[in-house]
Chain A
């Protein structure tokens, strides 16, 4: 089966840096996605990793270690608008196609 773990809640201070971790155990691996979801809204795509290492995109970076089944999302210079849930999702082969399985999401609260 597929198992994706991430903390349910985190709190960080405006202007600071926060790291949201995600560990996964899946049958096969073909990429990891991070999405941001504000309350009551649609998830929006943030980043994609398929090879080991760090992908940087502005204030957001995402890291992957396939051997450890581990990823993190790093948010720098936190802003109040970054308060949202962050979903880790893994793509893996399932029944002849590539299935994306989502973690429960980490609810990040940014405080002044």
Chain B
């Protein structure tokens, strides 16, 4: 019973390169959330997706960042032309439903992105 799978665990990029972070939700989960966490800071919401739909991207910078959750395959968070300030831990979470439910979001182990 695999949990939320994120890869890679660590990613190093040089300024100006592209970073692609992948997330496979738990089996049976169709709702995916991406969060960003800086050292000594809380989890900041970035984007909420269902299969083939972006529901809320209000926490995502308008430029350079994009996210998708295709019909087949994992959810992808893409950061183009990375800058030093993009260095952070990026967590993906999934849930079976979003409505009134005691079902929590389950988190992956995160991708630690370092920009040289």
Q: Which residues of A contact B (CB under 8 A)?
A: 30-31, 33, 35, 41-45, 48, 50, 87, 94-95, 97-105
**From B42, B58, B104, contact of A104 by CB (8 A):** B42
Residues of B contacting A: mostly: loop
When the two chains form their complex, are residues B42 and A87 in contact, meaning their CB atoms are under 8 A apart? yes
Least CB distance from B29 to A in Å reads 14
Knowing A33-B104, A42-B110, A44-B107 touch, does A99 contact B56 (C-beta < 8 A)? yes
Chain A residues, Cβ within 8 Å of B91: 42-43
Which residues 77-116 of B sit at the A interface, judged by CB distance below 8 A?
91, 98-100, 102, 104-110
**Could you say which residues of chain B place their CB within 8 Å of the CB of A100?**
33, 45, 105
Please state if B56 and A95 are interface contacts (CB–CB under 8 Å). yes
27 A-B contact pairs sorted by A residue (CB < 8 Å): A30-B100, A31-B100, A31-B102, A33-B104, A35-B104, A41-B110, A42-B4, A42-B91, A42-B107, A42-B108, A43-B91, A43-B107, A48-B102, A48-B104, A97-B48, A97-B56, A98-B99, A98-B100, A99-B45, A100-B33, A100-B45, A100-B105, A102-B42, A102-B43, A102-B44, A104-B42, A105-B43
